[in-house]
Amino acid sequence: MNVMRNKFIMLISIAGLVVVSDQVTKWLITSSLSYYEQVKVIPGFFNLIYIHNPGGAFGIFARNQGTLQSMLFILIAVAAMGLVLYLYKNTPSEYPVLSVGFALIFGGALGNMIDRIRLGKVIDFIDLYIAHLHWPAFNIADSAISIGMVIFGFYILFRKIPL
């Protein structure tokens, strides 16, 4: 029982750190920049930009905006968070890095869901590029989800994990 309690304290700590850092950085961007304003941080590679993403990951379905779409993304996030909680709970204790990955995914999903509930869209601000080739803008929550998914993918591909 104590092991499970410690495991959920770790989940709350990591996911909470992701949500707080995500929301604080979004607040800093929205209070410092005008919509679509850019600040060059590393010329030719990295800008800060304040934009909204009404779509899914990497701007998928961003052109089809609306309340129904926003509700669908919220429902998908809730379902994904439920699945992540299930996987987290059932991850054996000898896989702590995998548990960290699930906590990162959970925190990232929650951070972006907060934006969707508040605004109907997600605030993005990290713009990576080389010359004129730009990666879609993203945020701290997206980064946490991506890192968590890389960890999860590594375990799926290279480790046999009984989930």
Residues marked active site are found at: 124, 142
Contacts 24+ apart (CB under 8 A), 144-148: 144/18, 144/22, 144/104, 144/105, 144/107, 144/108, 144/111, 145/57, 145/104, 145/105, 145/108, 145/109, 145/112, 147/101, 147/104, 148/100, 148/101, 148/102, 148/103, 148/104, 148/105, 148/106, 148/108
